[in-house]
Amino acid sequence: MSKSQRKKLELEKAKNPQPEEPKKEEEVSEVKPKKTKKEIAKLVLNIVAKVLLGIFSAILIFCIIADIVFLIKQSRGDKVPTFLGYANLKIETGSMSPTINAGDLIVIHAQGEYSKGDVITFETKDGKTVTHRIIEVYEKSLIRERCYRTKGDYVGNSPDQAGTDYDNWIKDDEIYGRVVFMARNGGNIIEFFKSPVGMFVFLGLGIFILYLPSIIKFIIIKIKKERLKAQIKALEENKEKVEIPEKDIEVKEPKKEVKPKQEKQVKEPKKQSKGKKTKQTKASK
């Protein structure tokens, strides 16, 4: 570029100066107030309550599904309906006492193989469902498949099968499962919840417990509103007692401000100049 062109550009820039970019305001980070101990405790309690509610909801849904499956299988004629390989039963007799008493609840789970000492639930040759302990195992051979000899824990009970009568021993396909859990006197409760009425009661209780926090919150809010209404009513009643009747109130008119009179300015007569007087005298002459 030549010197003349540069000068022209400089003159144009001077005539039309570019607007300066506005400076970005520095971002001021807001300082959040620290939470008090009560607020922290309340937050922790809310989190714990939500976690427990979530766990309970999952258990409730699982139990409802299991109950429905049990009812469907029971209606089809299954003696021991299972769900995911598990089943629950009520003990009717005391043949396993003191280990398991009549009226207790047991939960069984199907196993691939069973060993000596396991408490199993099986079906006898005459179609009965029995829960007894394995006292002897016959290993599988070419002649005979694996089978088990059982006996109840009650003192004085004799083995269920003869010692050498292997054909009457319990086979794997006759076993429903091994006892994995036991609850004292829980059989009657489970029997009730297995019925259609019990299932609906269980469902209703579950829904009530799920909505219990919301119900408690609603009741607390309602109590607070009632208290607030009572306080407002009490304040209004106190105001009515304190109020003065209109007759006793003297209304004083505000005094009118008297504005000071403005003094009239006296205009002084204009002095005639000496030059004008001389002219008049000359004319008179």
Least-confidence region, from 34-43, 202-211, 245-254:
245-254
pLDDT at 285: 40
pLDDT at 148: 92
What number is the average pLDDT over the span 124-136?
90
User: Is the pLDDT at 50 greater than 60, yes or no?
Assistant: yes
What number is the average pLDDT over the span 34-56?
80
What number is the average pLDDT over the span 63-68?
78
Instruction: State which amino acid sits at residue 256.
Output: K
If DSSP codes are grouped into helix, strand and coil, which group holds residue 113? coil
Confidence of residue 282 (pLDDT cuts 50, 70, 90): very low
* Residue boundaries of the structural domains of the chain: 80-194
What b/e readout covers 77-108, taking b as 16+ CB neighbours within 10 angstroms? eeebbbeeeebbbbbeeebbeeebeeebbbbb
Least-confidence region, from 212-216, 227-231, 257-261:
257-261
Report residue 175: phi and psi, to 5°: -95, 130
pLDDT at 283: 43
Mean pLDDT of the chain: 76
Confidence of residue 280 (pLDDT cuts 50, 70, 90): very low
Can you tell me the distance from the alpha carbon of 285 to that of 179, in angstroms, rounded to the nearest whole number? 160
pTM above 0.85, yes or no: no
Choice between 248 and 90, residue whose per-residue pLDDT is larger: 90
pLDDT tens digit sequence for 167-206: 889 998 899 999 999 988 888 777 777 777 777 777 777 7
* Burial (CB count <10 Å: 0-12, 13-18, 19+), residue 16: exposed
* Contact of 105 with 186, CB cutoff 8 Å: yes
User: Is the pLDDT at 259 greater than 60, yes or no?
Assistant: no
Can you tell me the distance from the alpha carbon of 102 to that of 120, in angstroms, rounded to the nearest whole number? 16
User: Is the pLDDT at 119 greater than 70, yes or no?
Assistant: yes
Instruction: Please state whether beta strands 147-151 and 119-123 pair in parallel, antiparallel, or not at all (unpaired).
Output: unpaired
What number is the average pLDDT over the span 124-150?
87
Under CATH, what is the fold of the domain 80-194?
Umud Fragment, subunit A (2.10.109)
